[in-house]
């Protein structure tokens, strides 16, 4: 059966892509955090490229860039809402690019959410393991990178007018020009 005969098939394929991307990101995030906790001693960074790129153990109680450190429980609830929202949107996707972008966001959100639930000091209060340090940039992890890359991809495809259902949003000015052209053609037909 072709995709035209079965319109749910592309939907299922896009949903599988979203969950496959999320699963790969989650697995990489968990694996790298396990290795980082086992290898990197707090206060003793490992130099990769001088002091520009290092592996440095940081337990982050806050959001990105260590903001909202006293609101870990709220950040956990926001992450849960993001996961639920992405899954709900993902069930209706027909765009492969949206599936990849949302998969990156979902995998990253789940990776950090697992830290919030299962790392000390306790459920909903857990500190996220961050370990990659590049220059002046705040220390981050695979999940953080995935969320940022997914968000950037979603912004780019939105700017190009690609909708989650796979259609392209028409340019407003292009629509106005088409309407004007159509009205002019109708008017000239009336005169003829």
Q: How far apart are CA 125 and CA 100, in angstroms?
A: 30
Distance from C-alpha of 8 to C-alpha of 30, rounded to nearest angstrom = 33
> Closest Cα to residue 27, out of 15, 19, 17?
19
Question: Residue written as tokens 């990776």?
Answer: 111
Catalytic residues: 130, 144
The Cα 177–Cα 82 span in angstroms is 39
């Amino acid at each position: 059966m072709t995709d035209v005969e079965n319109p749910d098939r592309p939907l299922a394929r896009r949903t599988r892509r979203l969950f496959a991307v999320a699963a790969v990101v989650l697995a990489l995030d968990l694996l790298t955090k396990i290795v980082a906790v086992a290898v990197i001693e707090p206060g003793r960074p490992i130099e990769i490229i001088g002091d520009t790129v290092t592996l440095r153990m940081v337990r982050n109680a806050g959001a990105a860039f260590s903001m909202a450190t006293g609101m870990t429980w709220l950040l956990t609830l926001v992450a849960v809402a993001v996961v639920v929202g992405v899954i709900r949107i993902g069930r209706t996707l027909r765009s492969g690019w949206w599936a990849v972008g949302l998969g990156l966001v979902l995998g990253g959100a789940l990776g950090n959410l697992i830290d919030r639930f299962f790392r000390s000091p306790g459920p909903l209060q857990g500190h996220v393991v961050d370990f990659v340090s590049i220059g002046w940039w705040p220390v981050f992890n695979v999940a953080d990178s995935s969320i940022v890359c997914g968000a950037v991809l979603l912004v780019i495809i939105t700017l190009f007018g690609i909708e989650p259902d796979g259609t392209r949003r028409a340019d407003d000015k292009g629509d106005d020009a088409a309407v004007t052209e159509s009205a002019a053609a109708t008017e000239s037909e009336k005169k003829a």
